[in-house]
Amino acid sequence: MSGPHRGLSSIDAALAWVDAAVHRLRTEDAPLREAIGRVLTWEIRAERPIPACDSAALDGFAVAADQTVGASSYNPLSLPLIELSAGEALPAGTDAVVPIEHGEPDGTGNVALIESWVAGSNVDRLGAVVDAGKVLMRAGTVVGRRHIGILAAARVARLAVIRRPRAKIVQSGMVRAGAPDSNGPMLTTLIERDGGIILKHGAIERSRSALTAAFGAGGSDIVLVVGGTGPGREDRSAAALAAGGELAIHGIALRPGETAGLGHTAKGVPVILLPGSPAACLCCYELLAGRAIRLLGGRDPSLPYR
Q: In the structure, what pLDDT confidence band is assigned to residue 2 with cuts at 50, 70 and 90?
A: very low
Q: Please state the pTM of the whole predicted model.
A: 0.80
Mean pLDDT, residues 78-98:
96
Instruction: Write the burial class of residue 196 (CB in 10 Å: 0-12 exposed, 13-18 middle, 19+ buried).
Output: buried
Mean pLDDT, residues 257-284:
94
Residues of the chain with pLDDT > 90, as a percent, come to 77
Mean pLDDT, residues 124-145:
94
Name the average pLDDT for the chain: 91
DSSP 126: T
* pLDDT the model gives residue 179: 63
Lowest mean pLDDT among 132-136, 191-195, 196-200, 229-233: 229-233
Last residue of a domain, one of 102, 124, 146: 124
* pLDDT the model gives residue 178: 55
* pLDDT the model gives residue 210: 76
Instruction: Write the burial class of residue 268 (CB in 10 Å: 0-12 exposed, 13-18 middle, 19+ buried).
Output: exposed
Domain that holds residue 243: 11-26+164-296
287 pLDDT above the threshold of 60? yes
* pLDDT the model gives residue 109: 93
Query: Does 158 fall in a domain?
Result: no
* pLDDT the model gives residue 71: 94
Last residue of a domain, one of 109, 124, 139: 124
Instruction: Write the burial class of residue 4 (CB in 10 Å: 0-12 exposed, 13-18 middle, 19+ buried).
Output: exposed
Q: Could you report the per-residue pLDDT of 178-216, keeping only the tens digit for each?
A: 567 889 899 999 999 999 999 877 666 666 677 777 777
Question: What are the CB-based long-range contacts (under 8 Å, 24+) for 261-268?
Answer: 261/229, 261/237, 262/14, 262/17, 262/18, 262/21, 262/288, 264/21, 265/215, 265/216, 265/223, 265/241, 266/215, 266/216, 267/216, 267/218
Lowest mean pLDDT among 26-30, 78-82, 229-233: 229-233
* pLDDT the model gives residue 174: 56
Query: Does 5 fall in a domain?
Result: no
Co-location of 170 and 291 in the same domain = yes
Co-location of 226 and 79 in the same domain = no
Co-location of 170 and 272 in the same domain = yes
Mean pLDDT, residues 266-280:
94
Taking each helix axis as running N to C, give the angle between helix 237-244 and helix 208-216, from 0 to 180 degrees, rounded to the nearest 10: 50
Q: Read off the CATH number of the domain in which 95 is found.
A: 2.170.190.11
Domain tally, the chain: 2
Q: In the structure, what pLDDT confidence band is assigned to residue 176 with cuts at 50, 70 and 90?
A: low
Query: Does 209 fall in a domain?
Result: yes
269 pLDDT above the threshold of 80? yes
